[in-house]
Chain A
């Protein structure tokens, strides 16, 4: 069965993108400093959601999981956004670099030249010590390597899956499994380092050893929520009659488990810093706790309590409606989580969330939705020639 991108879905995407463009323009006119942080925040957020599609796919291949065959087209379609996200990220980074030359860099403090000049009053010994890693040429190289690796593996897996549809046989599956195993190793490294580069380097002095896992855990839930929402939506539309409550149960379990995992990492990071009370570490949480208190607690309650209470029972995980509602809540919750990772480091105490911030997010969501649904419409929703298709169709737990 095929998904066809309806005119209504296309219209909604374009309206959202329009709202986003207006919001971005308005925010550059009113508070350009936070406008840069909004752009970085949303680009990073939706980039990693797309990346989590590929990660989920690779995980299923490498684990030889059978149940997920019936929904594998959805993470495949999510990966289609990665090239767009890469272009957006390059625009944001180089745009900030060019715009920043007039009056200081908006996003990344470590880009200032004076910090590395011992004769300058701005000289910063700590940042100078990190200059072997945090310098412009190496940063740009790393960024390009990430995009090359992520997009390369995404396109390869997609191509193998489409060829399998046409030609059949087990060869494509075996090849995809080998490629996935290689991707998982590279993903383990790049997910950590990209979180340091794009996010942690904003607070240049501060570092946390589990920051990469923390970022990945939070954003993997957003990726899983997108898979859950799309599955629920397609099931409700009657386009995926083969997806039963057993498949929904497995997706629900993933969302529940990774929400708890995220909370564990959030707390592990917070508690060690809180307990040790070392000034250069606690400043990170002091800023967020003193000036972003409402969001700080909202982040914790939305992303931990909601999925924990709602998805705990077996029956809740097996319904499309709960997956839809919890999925939307988690996507908003982790958007706030990412906001708290990026914005305080860029603008400090002078922040706000208004219609322009929400509009920017809606614009990115519209673009993501448009690209993903387009990719979804390009191939049948069921992978007819997958060797584990029958296992998935008869999946029962």
Chain B
């Protein structure tokens, strides 16, 4: 019985785990508000405190959807049509989507990259977790 309760708690904890925002080694930024994260990933903002930032979305559909719900507070359909509209009206192109493997092998070359992962332990080496204000 005890094992069952522990297992249930673990499953519940995992299923409710928040998507973690991660920043590459170059980034000076340590903390961000959800509003700033939304603006950065919608490309309404391209820098924080004069530091240029390149955001990268996840090609893992499940993590991408969780990120949209948790940080952008919009429906998946709304975000899809937002990027279609931005693209075909020449306004902006959606961030590149990378898999976790691609994120691990990304060449940072002095550019601050911001992305997100499903679990803290999957954080690429030398990247840091961004604290949410």
* Binding partners A and B: no
Query: Which of B's residues lie within 8 Å of A, judged by CB?
Result: none
Query: Which of A's residues lie within 8 Å of B, judged by CB?
Result: none
